[in-house]
Amino acid sequence: MLAAYSGTAVRAAEKSLLDAGLGGHLMALAAYGLANAVLHRLDQAYGSRAVILVGSGNNGGDALYAGEVLARRGVAVSAVLMAERWHEPGLAALQSVGGRVFRLVEDRVEALAAAWSADVVIDGILGTGARGGLRGLAAELVAQLRGHPGVVACDLPSGLHPDTGETDGPVLDAVETVTFGAIKAGLLLPPGEAAAGEISLIDLDLDLPRPDLQRLDQLDLAEFWPRPGATDHKYSRGVLGVVAGSAQYPGAAQLAVGGALAAGVGMVRYLGPAPMPPEVVAGASAIAANRVQAWLVGPGVADDPVQEQRSYAAITSGLPVVVDAGALALLPEAVGADTVLTPHAGELAALLSRRGQRTERSDVEREPLRYTGLAVELTGATVLLKGATTVVVSPSGAVYSQAEATPWLATAGSGDTLAGMLAALLASGVQSALAAAMAASVHGQAGVLASGGGPIAASDIAGAVPRVLSELLS
Ligand SMILES: NC(=O)C1=CN([C@@H]2O[C@H](COP(=O)(O)OP(=O)(O)OC[C@H]3O[C@@H](n4cnc5c(N)ncnc54)[C@H](OP(=O)(O)O)[C@@H]3O)[C@@H](O)[C@H]2O)[C@@H](O)CC1
Ligand SMILES: Nc1ncnc2c1ncn2[C@@H]1O[C@H](COP(=O)(O)OP(=O)(O)O)[C@@H](O)[C@H]1O
Ligand SMILES: [K+]
């Protein structure tokens, strides 16, 4: 499990060490970690060139001391002072080993040329002390360096909000971010997380609280994915009730049920008009509440009053329920954490607008964590926001982000499959936010496996799920 923290939490954890006079020691550890990561990227240190973009705070200080280490190893190092102030001892250390210095206000052209001809550009402009994004000349230089293949970010890409992943102004895409003390949550959150590249953590032995964000890995999935025991039978594994599809949209129901069966559930009971595979119990007009452990409602139900009525009954049944697609519009005033909403950005904007918070899709795309949290606050539900990186927020404050997916998953019906997989986990008794993160991860991995780098149809995703799971669980 990757654990990530807000910038504030990391700074608070550092405080006792700083109070004990260990600030210089921490900076030295950070600088060595950063320099080592850069050295790993260079074929050989001697004869390579590095340019350091230096902001006014300690982030610039870390980068300058890393520059000193690199220069001692034979790298030709130049620093570009981006602001009117800089970390004086750090600059003196770099100059003492022959580092060159440019000042952005005076030497823009030379600084830009040096950066473009450098093997590595270290982005040390802003770290956890930033307020807002890059402005003025710094923003211009960074925009002119867009596409540089050798950017290594110091602690985080400058201009990326450490807590939220939001960006305000240009951000330089890094191949690697060397982050200090703890992974910052913003490095794992859309829309800015892609700028971080590969993430390396330099341990500073901080005493950290509960993480602000978690990302599940393969070991977590293997631990938490339900597997039947020798004494299990179909009812003990969990029975899922599904209200999906309509005469107009039968396919959504088939994909959702396909997702649930692939994820592994004891039985699916289906309400609706879509043709179902033989393993599904279908045909009843209602299902007594005690005959299922969880519900999935919504895919393909819009504009079918009977399906909408059934969806509403399931949502208000008190059982765990996944509310997807058309059923999002049927949500009562308040629900509980066992209700999991699965909107994409457009559906989340519509949901918030119905609750009196006028929101556009572009707002959600700019600040996904904030608007997902707002939906949790306004509904009481656990919310999974779909996208290239999927974000899950629960009323308990737990936040997950999963980024296994491929853009080939952006195909009609892909979300129906995800909803089915998630609902299967709820029926098996997995706690809702964890189930949401697990479903997003395995859905993403199944998409990657099914795609193999080329296009997929939604039904291919469910087809690949058992292979992903058998690899995980064996
Ligand atoms: N604490 C520790 O022990 C350790 C900390 N470590 C390192 O310290 C980093 C945090 O350092 P930090 O607190 O000095 O802040 P930092 O991110 O360098 O930038 C703030 C400076 O930039 C300025 N500024 C702000 N916003 C701006 C904007 N939008 N555009 C332009 N300028 C802006 C602001 O100046 P002001 O405007 O306030 O005059 C201020 O001077 C952290 O990320 C990690 O790398 C590690 O060494 C481990 C030990
Ligand atoms: N660019 C992307 N990269 C990776 N995954 C994506 C991307 N766009 C969408 N997805 C994933 O594909 C699925 C699309 O769901 P959704 O929009 O609900 O489709 P539908 O409603 O047609 O089923 C989600 O799981 C989402 O996370
Ligand atoms: K930085």
In the CATH hierarchy, which fold is given to the domain comprising 2-215? Rossmann fold (3.40.50)
For the annotated binding site for AMP, the residues are 386-390, 415
Residue 234 CB neighbours (<10 A): 11
Q: Please say if the pLDDT value at position 286 is more than 90.
A: no
Q: Give the atom of ligand 2 at the shortest distance from the alpha carbon of 417.
A: 23
Which residue's alpha carbon is at the smallest distance from atom 14 of ligand 2? 415
For the annotated binding site, the residues are 58-62, 123, 127-133, 155, 158, 252, 300, 344, 386-390, 415-416
Instruction: Find the 282 Cα to ligand 2 centroid distance in Å.
Output: 28
pLDDT value at residue 288: 81
Which residue's alpha carbon is at the smallest distance from atom 21 of ligand 1? 57
Query: Band of the pLDDT at 417, cuts 50, 70, 90?
Result: very high
The helix/strand/coil state of 49 is: strand
Q: Does the beta carbon of 413 lie inside 6 Å of ligand 2?
A: yes
What would the pLDDT profile of 179-235 be if each residue is shown by its tens digit? 999 999 999 999 999 999 999 999 999 999 999 999 999 999 999 999 999 999 999
pLDDT value at residue 290: 81
Q: Does the beta carbon of 259 lie inside 6 Å of ligand 2?
A: no
Q: Please say if the pLDDT value at position 78 is more than 80.
A: yes
Which residue's alpha carbon is at the smallest distance from atom 16 of ligand 2? 415
What would the pLDDT profile of 103-137 be if each residue is shown by its tens digit? 999 999 999 999 999 999 999 999 999 999 999 99
Residues lining ligand 1, CB < 6 A? 14, 18, 23, 26-27, 30, 55-60, 62, 83, 126-135, 154-155, 180
Query: Band of the pLDDT at 458, cuts 50, 70, 90?
Result: very high
For the annotated binding site for (6S)-NADPHX, the residues are 58-62, 127-133, 155, 252, 300, 344, 416
Q: Which residues contact 198 (CB under 8 A, 6 or more apart)?
A: 175, 176, 177
pLDDT value at residue 35: 98
Instruction: Find the 56 Cα to ligand 1 centroid distance in Å.
Output: 7
For the annotated binding site for K(+), the residues are 59, 123, 158
Instruction: Find the 470 Cα to ligand 1 centroid distance in Å.
Output: 46
Longest C-alpha distance within the chain, in Å?
82
Q: Please say if the pLDDT value at position 456 is more than 80.
A: yes
Q: Give the atom of ligand 1 at the shortest distance from the alpha carbon of 17.
A: 3
Query: Band of the pLDDT at 370, cuts 50, 70, 90?
Result: very high
Q: Residue 394 phi/psi, 5° resolution?
A: -110, 160
- Which run of H or E residues covers position 373? helix 368-379
pLDDT value at residue 287: 86
Which residue's alpha carbon is at the smallest distance from atom 47 of ligand 1? 27
Q: Give the atom of ligand 1 at the shortest distance from the alpha carbon of 62.
A: 47
Which residue's alpha carbon is at the smallest distance from atom 43 of ligand 1? 127
Residue 139 CB neighbours (<10 A): 18
Sheet with 390-393: strands ordered across: 183-184, 2-5, 213-215, 399-402, 390-393, 382-385, 339-341, 321-323, 294-297, 239-243, 267-271, 281-282
Ligand minimally distant from the alpha carbon of residue 153: 3
pLDDT value at residue 283: 86
Instruction: Find the 361 Cα to ligand 3 centroid distance in Å.
Output: 29
Instruction: Find the 41 Cα to ligand 1 centroid distance in Å.
Output: 26
Report the residue among 6, 17, 56, 184 best suited for mutation to probe ligand 1: largest number of ligand atoms under 8 A from its CB. Answer: 56
Which residue's alpha carbon is at the smallest distance from atom 13 of ligand 1? 129
**Which of these, 124, 152, 123, lies nearest to 41 by C-alpha position?**
152
Cα separations in angstroms, 248 against 245, 253, 273, 304: 8, 11, 9, 9
Instruction: Find the 370 Cα to ligand 1 centroid distance in Å.
Output: 24
Q: What mean pLDDT comes out for the span 432-437?
A: 98
In the CATH hierarchy, which fold is given to the domain comprising 218-473? UDP-N-acetylmuramoyl-L-alanine:D-glutamate ligase (3.40.1190)
Instruction: Find the 444 Cα to ligand 2 centroid distance in Å.
Output: 9
Query: Band of the pLDDT at 285, cuts 50, 70, 90?
Result: confident
Helices (H), 42-149: 58-72, 88-96, 108-117, 136-144
Q: What is the mean pLDDT of the chain?
A: 97
Q: Does the beta carbon of 410 lie inside 6 Å of ligand 2?
A: yes
In order, the DSSP letters of 129-198 are: T--SS--HHHHHHHHHTTT-TTEEEESS-TTB-TTT--B-S--PPPSEEEEESSEEGGGGSTTTGGGG-E
Report the residue among 296, 386, 461, 465 best suited for mutation to probe ligand 2: largest number of ligand atoms under 8 A from its CB. Answer: 386
Instruction: Find the 157 Cα to ligand 1 centroid distance in Å.
Output: 12
Residues surrounding ion ligand 3 at CB below 5 Å: 59, 123, 154, 158
Q: Please say if the pLDDT value at position 418 is more than 90.
A: yes
Domain boundaries, the chain: 2-215, 218-473
pLDDT value at residue 349: 98
Query: Band of the pLDDT at 289, cuts 50, 70, 90?
Result: confident
Q: What mean pLDDT comes out for the span 343-371?
A: 98
Write down the ipTM of this complex.
0.95
β-strand pairing of 239-243 with 294-297: parallel
